[in-house]
Structure 1
Amino acid sequence: MNPVDLYSSRVATYTRFVNVVRYPQGIRAYFLRASWLRSGLHVLDAGCGTGFATLALRDALLKRRMVPGSFHAFDLTPAMIDRFRATLHKRAITDVELTQADVLESEALPAEWTNYDLIISASMFEYLPPHRVSEGFQRLRSRLNEGGRFVLFITRRNWLTRPLIGQWWQANLYSKKELKEALYKAGFTSLTVSRFPIQYRWLSLWGFVIEATT
């Protein structure tokens, strides 16, 4: 099953799944402690899904008394975008602009979607063909401004994720070495592999958090 069909049929299941493992809360906690977080960031969420990463970042900014800047977000699956748009409407959030797009066809994004201070991506790159992952990273890197930062949340390959994410969610899984090689190939020159905060330590068993800059 291709990713669009998979996630179109499992939107509600996916929402319950990420909430049960407290993935959005873990991402929010990660941003709450980020030393580089500041007001006015121009942000792109690549593969936004139902929007939990964008909302986690926005909540972290507000919690730290910082002013959210402009947010853009795209996803391949219309059903996920519809769920995200409904959440934005319910929360009366008007500073997030959404569109449907494929990271491997990023020229389809609006021309003004560029020069980002921060690009985030959570649980999207697992669904690219493995031989095109580096290309996806490069396409996002080209949209960062000078000094911009890319933060990647991605599933690691281990005994837990093979059945739970690899099989059930039909995702590709990666080692730290493979991801670092793909990011360097995409043109990033500085990488930091981090963990989720201690109160969400089980998420570090699930996946990696990698910050990349040029």
Structure 2
Amino acid sequence: MHSLDAGCGSGTATLALREALLSRGLSPGLMRGFDLTPKMLERFSGNLLAHEIEGVDLFQADILHLEELPDGWNNFDLIVSAAMLEYLPRERMVEALSGLRSLLKESGSLLLFITRQNWLMSLLVGKWWSAELYGAAELEQYFRLAGFTTVTFTKFPFPYKHLSLWGHIIEAK
């Protein structure tokens, strides 16, 4: 599997994906991640060194300038993005999703974790972190405008059901 963590931060999503694949006897393959913040990439690199993990390439990049990614950073089977797109201006969401779609294989999937619009998240994430919050219908519209034909919303599994109050899980193809 060829995967990308868009807005990888300190590597939580990449490391969780890697562990999930290994626990199922599958090879993680080449994993890549980009983030806008050099400090987060340093932290991720430190996590990789501390756990002696190889096969993860990192790059500093902006979601709105994906053309700056290195050559070969395309044709991904899976792109994961967690808690990053809500920090973009709302009017740039379709642009960002279109950019990510352009990096997928035709059969690839985008797995997005994003903050849900509700009163609690408005207080905690919207006000505190100045993030955009989204309803399911609005997100589905953005995905369709970005060229995705299949958009599926799922819930967090037990024992993480409480996280459904925080956000949406969306798989798009």
Structure 2: 5+ residue runs without aligned partners? none
Structure 1: 5+ residue runs without aligned partners? 1-40
**Quick one: distance in 2 between partners of 1:112 and 1:68?**
18
User: What residue is the counterpart of 2:168 in the other structure?
Assistant: 208
Residues 53-202 of structure 1 aligned to structure 2 (within 5 Å): 53-202=13-162
**Quick one: distance in 1 between partners of 2:30 and 2:11?**
15
| Residue 198 of structure 1, CA deviation | 2.0
Question: What TM-score results when the alignment is normalised by the length of structure 1?
Answer: 0.80
Q: How many residues of Structure 1 are paired with residues of Structure 2 in the alignment? A: 173
SS of the equivalent of 2:21 reads: helix
User: What residue is the counterpart of 2:3 in the other structure?
Assistant: 43
The answer to which of 107-116 and 166-175 deviates more is: 166-175
User: What residue is the counterpart of 1:3 in the other structure?
Assistant: none
Q: Percent identity?
A: 53
SS of the equivalent of 1:160 reads: helix
- Runs of 4+ aligned structure 1 residues displaced above 3 Å come to none
RMSD between aligned alpha carbons? 0.7
| Residue 191 of structure 1, CA deviation | 0.8
